[in-house]
Amino acid sequence: MSGVLGVAVLGAGHMGADHVRRLDRVVSGARVAAVADPDVERARAAVGGIEGAVAHTDPGAALDAPGVGAVLIASPGEAHEEALAAAFARGLPVLCEKPLVPDAEGALRVVEAEARLGRRLTQTGFMRRHDGEYQRLKALLDGGRLGRPLMLHCVHRNVSSPADFTSAMLVNSSVSHEIDAARWLLGDELTAVTVLRPRPSGKAPEGLLDPQFVLFETAGGALVDVEVFVNCGFGYEVRCEAVCEAGSARIGGAHTMVVTEAGGAREEVPQDYLVRFADAYDREVRAWVDAVRRGRVTGASAWDGYAAAAVAEAGVRALETGARTPVDLAPRPALYAPQ
């Protein structure tokens, strides 16, 4: 594809509006051609001041807008399957924010539909694969200098959770990022999940099981543990330590500003994911645009989105039952064979 890539953005909420800004002001080689959101005023606000961009309430109208050559889906997860089907029908490359589809059955339908096309159109938006620290850790593990990875210790903390957040969402929304990061870092599938529940924090809303401790087993025998705490009250923290046969490596602890004043010092703690992973989102969208303009689709695939949904579903069952729960994955289509 030559020239500037016209992108239709579906969803103009917190994430969608940030992607509109990114495409308009940060990423070269792309322009916002259309935005769709059920709230027409929100869609209009998102395209305000962007020459040639049009606002719609109907996603199909945005996909059919003049100059659209690709789609960025940032709408609520429940709308993703229909939007992906519409993009496939038009042959449009897609960057779909996680979750690909909230349930594993729906995500598998997307995988099967794309496999029938015989070519990849979908990149799933797991932005940690584009974070500089995660990329350095991945390169270190792949290089083998530390020997085989034995364990990953992960921390995922949020200041507070939305009012509608449920205990299951700690696993299928928050920990879904760790699910994909672990699969990617280790190059291995997650095969079983156990969820332990310490006493809830007094800061957690009534009835919310927060924090949780999630333990994953991998096909190769490594273990991955995740402390997820979505009402910690003090900041947004994501950390990961890989423990290997000949050493360890830790990321996530050196990305903030330290301010010294009035006889003291304090370290700033990011308050949300758009601050902590701002550079990762920029890298992710830039890489997607560059690949699409070359006629390619790279990054996390629809299969990765499906695998994350299947593992998360097993995690929710483990939370509800208190039992170790195996992960049941469908056979991987040849389209997604490891390269």
Residues 6+ apart with CB under 8 A from 50: 20, 24, 31, 32
Task: Please give the DSSP secondary-structure letter assigned to residue 170.
Answer: I
Instruction: For residue 215, list its beta bridge partners.
Output: 194, 225
Q: Topology of 130-276+307-336 in CATH? A: Dihydrodipicolinate Reductase; domain 2 (3.30.360)
CA 307 to CA 301: how far, in whole Å? 10
Per-residue pLDDT of the chain (339 residues; tens, 9 = 90+): 458 999 999 999 999 999 999 999 999 999 999 999 999 999 999 999 999 999 999 999 999 999 999 999 999 999 999 999 999 999 999 999 999 999 999 999 999 999 999 999 999 999 999 999 999 999 999 999 999 999 999 999 999 999 999 999 999 999 999 999 999 999 999 999 999 999 999 999 999 999 999 999 999 999 999 999 999 998 889 999 999 999 999 999 765 666 667 777 766 677 667 678 889 999 999 999 999 999 999 999 999 999 999 999 999 999 999 999 999 999 999 999 986
Task: Please give the DSSP secondary-structure letter assigned to residue 8.
Answer: E
Instruction: For residue 153, list its beta bridge partners.
Output: 225, 241
Instruction: For residue 31, list its beta bridge partners.
Output: 6
Rg (CA), the chain: 20
CA 252 to CA 286: how far, in whole Å? 22
Tokens 């990011």 locate to 270
Q: Topology of 5-128+279-301 in CATH? A: Rossmann fold (3.40.50)
Q: Of 46, 260, 158, which is closest to residue 62 (Cα–Cα)?
A: 46
Tell me how far apart the terminal alpha carbons of the chain are, to the nearest angstrom: 24
Q: Is 192 helix (H, G, I), strand (E, B) or coil?
A: strand
Q: Of 83, 115, 113, which is closest to residue 99 (Cα–Cα)?
A: 83
Q: Of 230, 214, 213, which is closest to residue 158 (Cα–Cα)?
A: 230
| Token pair recorded at residue 111 | 């995988």
Are β-strands 223-229 and 237-244 bridged in parallel, bridged antiparallel, or unpaired?
Answer: unpaired
Tokens 């890989």 locate to 242
- The answer to whether the pTM exceeds 0.95 is no
| Token pair recorded at residue 306 | 């499906």
Q: Give domain limits for the chain.
A: 5-128+279-301, 130-276+307-336
In degrees rounded to 5, what are phi and psi of residue 113? Answer: -65, -40
Q: Which helix (H) or strand (E) holds 184?
A: helix 176-186
| Token pair recorded at residue 101 | 């589809």
Q: Which helix (H) or strand (E) holds 155?
A: strand 149-157
